[in-house]
């Protein structure tokens, strides 16, 4: 990997500008005022170690603390290493299992006292050198402690039981850093540089290795052994202007031959890189080594040895500081009180962290950065840069402080140290942090914390849902109902039955469905909403009283300034409960839970008198329990809702009974009629009366019912309200089994003629009934209506007249239109149907003036004379009479009609014009002699002369035309006979050489056949081909051969 230009120039300058902008002390005070602090307890003290109070510590070890390290060797033991200025290592032990439960009281977390009586136990001490211990690092890969003191590196076992092993190389070390590799990192293997294995294992190379030397190439030293990819620790050591990369091997490996001259410990010098002088701090991530000097930060490549400056520090800046963020695999660079997070390539990631002061030491735990200064500790979130927790563990002006955290293991403990005292803090569990925030009513922060932990993989989605539900209940008891329901809806694990006790008191039908969840016991047990509101109002009153007495409370400030009324709170609670139950209806719930949701939703609708919502719920598909609601709805007068509910549950009889009561009692004032409430409003829409609405809703049930008795029982009152609705009930095709027509007809009031006619018409036209009885009843009913309308004139009008004919004119016009419409219907039915009894209908209309209807009936009976008399004499419809004669098809019919025109009888004058019309239209069909004999002597000659002359000419023309046709027919007959004779006289000669045109066999004496196209085939082929298709493929049935005869030729 090449790092010739790891950062663009603009980025390097930008970082430099950022660093310089925060370098001055004057800007520090103004920036700290902008820092946002969140009151959250993340760390809590669990144990402490104070140097003056430890009697078991030898006097020679009593020196001020210089360095610090923490290592978790097992689940039951955590070791703390303290390096002193006197060159000693103090080993302390902490047993995590003995730590008491955390105390999250902020008052106890700001002092130096631990929350438990347990002390850090002193185990032993070990002298490393006479100089101060500059750094202590745990080499997890080899199970050792690496100590830097007096410019040398020392290796110690974890429990300080074995002698100290000093590495003679390198000497003069100032800073040491262990290589950190990410889980998904692509860091290079330092062994893969192309050096032959034989060269690396030569005796000369081993000698140089013992002296700390190696092969130099462009200022880089190469190692001679192939290090283990897993199980070894690689460190970088800053010595003067060099960076030496060393690999520490496992002590148990016996396949190595080179050891340190004094200690016998195996190590390999991997590389030597030319660096800069004065390295103060260093971090090694993957293939990048970042060093810090008083002049700035520089990035080196451990593969190529090349360097690139990140940015420089101003002259007045504090000393450089680097902190590896192991969890994120990044590095935190400090410029005064500003921390910049960069990745392994030196590129900034995320935002900058602005601290309250320039830290003495920096630590990391979970998602937080810990800065220590003069006995004070501040905890910052790495992503949001917010201050999460502040505490102090020592008196002011105590001197430089140190912080150390676990770089391996669970990362649960962090240790702070002053020159004479060490305090161990433990990270409070996420659950306890959330509980603490909820107790303080910091609900938003609690949710943010859970979401943050979920994104980081430290908390499950189920826990997030659990906390949402817990926050919802706390807000509910704090009277913030809208926010509470919002959290309920965000919880995927909360069950709808958990809010049932807030709506109905226990015990009830659904009491056993309520899960017994304690939710950490932060809120009271569920009680009805009325009690929640009453208790909340009492708490507000109590808080107001305490506020006047000077006591602060956690009650909402808005409630204290503007106390809400009980009615407002209760309405808000019910509305939000309705909102939650509506959402729950769309979930896949158990049957009993669905019943509870819908039933309680109806309860809440009724509490707010939301009639429309009640009726919509009851009329749609629902799981309401009728037994729980019927008495409630009946007593409150919501009968429409109860009727809809009965209908949705299949209780049609009860629903119909309620609609019947409503239809009869709207006029009595028990219920408001929408049609009477808005008599003068012209909104463009028709307002349906309450009675009609009841009838319509009842008809919806009756249209699907096959129970004949129930349908006929409620038919009467529906007819009284709206006859159109009654007709829909009778003619409905939705029911599985149709009603008996005889029973329906007998149940219809004889006065309701229109209903009977429409029902009979439906039976005949839609149901295609062929019963003579129904056809006759329909004809008789129509005839009676026509006779009544004729007798009463235009004054006749039925209640259904407007439904049979769309007319918006005057009443007279309506009556005429209705009379014409019903008479046309009678005439059409009499003509189209052959199943009624015409004699019975004739008996009814015999004395009326319904001549066309009588003509139709006489025609059905075959009485031609009476039909012609009515058409010609009564109706004087010559065209209809002539058409009827054409239908009869006999010439005598025209003569009979002519006789009627010339001798109408009953003292009527002859109808000469009609007679002339008849002769003009059909004279060629009449015998002239009969016509002349029939003509009256009184008929004017000028009227009949032209007609008679034309009739005689047509007669002569007809006779001659017949003669021509007869002669032509005789000629064609002769021609046909001649052609047939010619065909029969055809012959063919067959000899021994004659062949079958199909199979080409000799015919000889065989049977053969000849087709009309003169092709000859043997009998066998004739059987195969058939008599209509010849061997040429011609089909004589489709392609007829026409041979011209003598007539055509001539």
Quote the distance between the C-alpha of residue 25 and its chain's center. Answer: 56
DSSP string, 668-705: TTSS--HHHHSSS---SSPPPPHHHHHHHHHHHHHTT-
pLDDT in tens, 564-598: 899 999 999 999 999 999 999 999 999 999 999 99
Q: Can you state the angle between helices 878-888 and 912-922, rounded to 10 degrees? A: 40
pLDDT at 1010 over 50: yes
Q: Can you state the angle between helices 772-792 and 838-845, rounded to 10 degrees? A: 20
pLDDT in tens, 273-332: 999 999 999 999 989 999 999 999 999 999 998 999 998 888 888 999 999 998 888 999
Tell me the H-state helices in 491-590: 529-548, 557-561, 566-585
| Tally: H helices and E strands in the chain | 35, 32
Q: Which residue has the higher pLDDT, 925 or 916?
A: 916
Distances (CA, A) of 105 to 39, 63, 378, 439, 939: 11, 34, 17, 11, 134
Average pLDDT over residues 920-940: 67
Beta-carbon contacts of residue 479 (< 8 Å; ≥ 6 apart): 532, 533, 536, 540, 556, 559, 564, 569, 573
The model's confidence at residue 666, banded by pLDDT at 50, 70 and 90, is low
The model's confidence at residue 208, banded by pLDDT at 50, 70 and 90, is very low
Which SS3 state, helix, strand or coil, does residue 628 take? helix
The position carrying tokens 């692509």 is 186
Q: List strands edge to edge, sheet with 413-417.
A: 43-50, 421-427, 413-417, 402-405
Q: Angle at CA 377, nearest 5°, toward 375 and 378?
A: 150
Q: Which of 698-702, 828-832, 883-887 shows the lowest per-residue confidence on average (mean pLDDT)?
A: 883-887
Q: What is the model's pTM?
A: 0.68
pLDDT at 640 over 70: yes
The position carrying tokens 């079958």 is 996
Residue 436, token pair as written in the block: 């603490």
pLDDT in tens, 164-183: 999 888 889 999 999 988 77
Average pLDDT over residues 930-947: 65
pLDDT of residue 678: 52
Question: What is the CB-side half-sphere exposure of residue 994 using CA atoms within 13 A?
Answer: 17
pLDDT at 25 over 90: no
3-class secondary structure per residue, 398-467: CCCCEEEECCCCCCCEEEEECCCEEEEEEECCHHHHHHHHHHCCCHHHHHHHHHHHHHCCCCCHHHHHHH
The model's confidence at residue 416, banded by pLDDT at 50, 70 and 90, is very high
Spatial distance between the Cα atoms of 249 and 227, rounded to a whole number of angstroms: 8
Distances (CA, A) of 696 to 655, 727, 847: 13, 12, 43
Q: Are the CB atoms for 422 and 120 separated by under 8 Å?
A: yes
Residue 892, token pair as written in the block: 């005598």
- 94: closest CA among 68, 120, 72? 120
Percentage of residues in the chain having pLDDT higher than 90? 39
Question: What is the CB-side half-sphere exposure of residue 367 using CA atoms within 13 A?
Answer: 19
Bridge partners (DSSP) listed for residue 142: none
Residue 192, token pair as written in the block: 């893969």
DSSP string, 316-351: TPPPPEEEEETTTTEEEEEETTEEEEE-TTS-EEEE
DSSP state of 303: T
pLDDT at 821 over 70: yes
The model's confidence at residue 467, banded by pLDDT at 50, 70 and 90, is very high
pLDDT at 137 over 70: yes
Question: What is the CB-side half-sphere exposure of residue 886 using CA atoms within 13 A?
Answer: 9
pLDDT of residue 528: 94
pLDDT of residue 803: 39
Peptide bond into 507 cis (omega under 30): yes
pLDDT at 39 over 90: no
Average pLDDT over residues 227-243: 78
Q: Are the CB atoms for 283 and 181 separated by under 8 Å?
A: no
The position carrying tokens 């290493």 is 81
pLDDT at 1004 over 90: no
Q: Are the CB atoms for 97 and 126 separated by under 8 Å?
A: no
Q: Are the CB atoms for 547 and 556 separated by under 8 Å?
A: no
Mean pLDDT across the chain, nearest whole number? 80
DSSP string, 938-1000: TS-HHHHHHHHHHHHHHHHHHHHHHHHHHHHHHHHHHHHHHHHHHHHT------TT-B-TTT-
pLDDT in tens, 592-636: 999 999 999 999 999 999 999 999 999 999 999 999 999 999 999
Residue 659, token pair as written in the block: 């609609």
pLDDT of residue 840: 92
Spatial distance between the Cα atoms of 867 and 220, rounded to a whole number of angstroms: 133
Q: List strands edge to edge, sheet with 173-180.
A: 267-274, 242-248, 233-239, 173-180, 281-285, 288-292, 296-301, 307-312
pLDDT in tens, 501-558: 999 998 999 999 998 877 888 888 999 999 999 998 998 888 888 888 878 777 777 7
């Amino acid at each position: 990997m090449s790092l010739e230009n790891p950062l663009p120039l603009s980025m390097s300058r930008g970082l430099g500008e950022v660093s310089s902008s925060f370098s001055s002390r004057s800007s520090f005070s103004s920036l700290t005022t902008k820092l946002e602090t969140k009151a959250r307890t993340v760390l809590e003290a669990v144990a402490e170690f104070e140097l003056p109070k430890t009697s078991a510590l030898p006097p020679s070890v009593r020196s001020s603390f210089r360095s610090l390290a923490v290592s978790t060797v097992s689940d039951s033991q955590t070791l703390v290493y303290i390096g002193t200025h006197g060159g000693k290592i103090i080993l302390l032990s902490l047993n995590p299992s003995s730590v008491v439960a955390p105390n999250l009281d902020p008052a106890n977390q700001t002092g130096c006292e631990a929350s438990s009586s347990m002390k850090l136990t002193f185990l032993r001490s070990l002298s490393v050198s006479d100089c101060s211990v500059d750094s202590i690092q745990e080499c997890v890969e080899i199970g050792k402690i690496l100590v830097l003191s007096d410019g040398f590196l020392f290796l110690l076992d974890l429990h300080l039981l074995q002698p100290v092993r000093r590495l003679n190389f390198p000497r003069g070390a100032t800073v040491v850093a262990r290589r950190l590799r990410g889980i998904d990192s692509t860091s290079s293997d330092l062994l893969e540089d192309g050096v032959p294995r034989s060269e690396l294992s030569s005796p000369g190379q081993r000698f140089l290795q013992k002296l700390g030397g190696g092969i130099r190439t462009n200022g880089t030293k190469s190692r001679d052994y192939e290090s283990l990819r897993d199980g070894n620790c690689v460190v970088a050591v800053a010595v003067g202007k060099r960076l030496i990369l060393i690999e520490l091997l496992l002590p148990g490996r016996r396949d190595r031959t080179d050891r340190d001259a004094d200690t016998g410990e195996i190590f390999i010098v991997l590389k030597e890189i030319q660096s800069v002088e004065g390295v103060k701090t260093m971090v090694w991530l993957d293939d990048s080594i970042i060093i810090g000097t008083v002049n700035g930060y520089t990035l080196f490549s451990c593969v190529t040895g090349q360097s690139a400056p990140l940015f420089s520090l101003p002259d007045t800046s504090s000393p450089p500081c680097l902190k590896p963020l192991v969890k994120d695999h990044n590095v935190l660079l400090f410029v005064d009180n500003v921390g910049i997070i960069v990745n392994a390539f030196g590129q900034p990631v995320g935002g900058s962290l602005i601290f309250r002061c320039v830290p003495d030491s920096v630590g990391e735990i979970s998602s937080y950065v810990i800065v220590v200064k003069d006995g004070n500790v501040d905890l910052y979130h790495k992503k949001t840069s917010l201050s999460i927790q502040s505490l102090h563990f020592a008196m002011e002006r105590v001197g430089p402080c140190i912080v150390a955290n676990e770089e391996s293991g669970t990362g649960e403990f962090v240790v702070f140290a002053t020159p004479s005292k060490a305090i161990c803090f433990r990270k409070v569990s996420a659950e306890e942090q959330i509980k603490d925030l909820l107790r303080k009513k910091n609900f938003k922060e609690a949710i943010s914390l859970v979401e943050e932990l979920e994104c980081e993989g430290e908390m499950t989605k189920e826990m997030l849902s659990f906390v949402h539900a817990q926050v919802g209940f706390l807000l509910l008891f704090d009277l913030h109902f809208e926010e509470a329901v919002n959290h309920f809806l965000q919880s995927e694990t909360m069950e709808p039955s958990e809010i049932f006790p807030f709506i109905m008191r226990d015990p009830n039908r659904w009491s056993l469905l309520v899960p017994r969840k304690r939710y950490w016991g932060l809120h009271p047990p569920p009680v009805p909403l009325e009690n929640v509101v009453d208790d909340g109002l009492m708490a507000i009153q109590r808080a107001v009283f305490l506020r006047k007495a000077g006591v602060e409370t956690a009650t909402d400030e808005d409630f204290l300034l503007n106390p809400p009324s009980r009615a407002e709170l209760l309405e808000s609670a019910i509305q939000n409960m309705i909102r939650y139950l509506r959402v729950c209806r769309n979930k896949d719930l158990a049957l009993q839970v669905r019943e509870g949701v819908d039933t309680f939703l109806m309860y809440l609708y009724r509490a707010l008198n939301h009639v429309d919502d009640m009726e919509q719920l009851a009329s749609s598909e629902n799981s309401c329990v009728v037994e729980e609601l019927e008495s409630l709805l009946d007593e409150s007068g919501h009968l429409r809702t109860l009727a809809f509910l009965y209908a949705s549950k299949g209780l049609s009889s009860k629903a119909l009974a309620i609609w019947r009561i409503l239809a009869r009692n709207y006029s009595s004032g028990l219920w408001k009629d929408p049609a009477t409430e808005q008599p003068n409003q012209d909104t463009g829409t028709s307002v349906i009366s309450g009675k009609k609405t009841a009838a319509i809703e009842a008809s919806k049930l009756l249209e699907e019912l096959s129970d004949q008795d129930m349908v006929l029982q409620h038919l009467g009152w529906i007819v009284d309200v709206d006859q159109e609705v009654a007709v829909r009930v009778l003619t409905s095709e939705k029911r599985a089994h149709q009603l008996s027509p005889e029973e329906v007809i007998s149940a219809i009031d004889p006065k309701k003629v229109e209903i009977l006619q429409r029902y009979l018409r439906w039976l005949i036209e839609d149901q295609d009934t062929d019963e003579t009885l129904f056809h006759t009843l329909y004809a008789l009913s129509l005839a009676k209506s026509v006779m009544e309308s004729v007798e009463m004139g235009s004054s006749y009008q039925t209640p259904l007249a407007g439904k049979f004919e769309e007319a918006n004119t005057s009443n007279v016009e309506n009556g005429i239109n209705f009379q014409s419409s019903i008479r046309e219907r009678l005439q059409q039915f009499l003509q189209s149907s052959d199943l009624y009894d015409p004699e019975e209908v004739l008996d009814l209309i015999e004395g009326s003036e319904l001549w066309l209807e009588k003509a139709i009936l006489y025609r059905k009976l075959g009485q031609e004379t009476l039909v012609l008399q009515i058409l010609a004499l009564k109706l004087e419809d010559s065209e209809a009479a002539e058409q009827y004669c054409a239908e009869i098809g006999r010439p005598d019919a025209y003569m009979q009609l002519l006789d009627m025109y010339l001798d109408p009888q009953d003292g009527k004058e002859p109808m000469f014009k009609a007679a002339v019309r008849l002769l003009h239209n059909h004279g060629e069909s009449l015998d002239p002699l009969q016509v002349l004999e029939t003509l009256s002597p009184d008929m004017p000659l000028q009227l009949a002369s032209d007609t008679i002359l034309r009739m005689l000419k047509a007669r002569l023309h007809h006779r001659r035309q017949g003669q021509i046709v007869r002669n032509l027919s005789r000629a064609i007959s002769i021609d046909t006979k001649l052609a047939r004779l010619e065909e029969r006289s055809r012959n063919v000669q067959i000899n021994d050489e004659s062949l079958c045109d199909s199979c080409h066999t000799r015919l000889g004496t065989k049977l053969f056949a000849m087709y009309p196209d003169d092709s000859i085939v043997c009998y066998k082929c004739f059987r195969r081909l058939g008599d209509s298709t010849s061997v040429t493929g011609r089909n004589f049935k489709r392609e007829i051969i026409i041979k011209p005869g003598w007539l055509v030729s001539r």
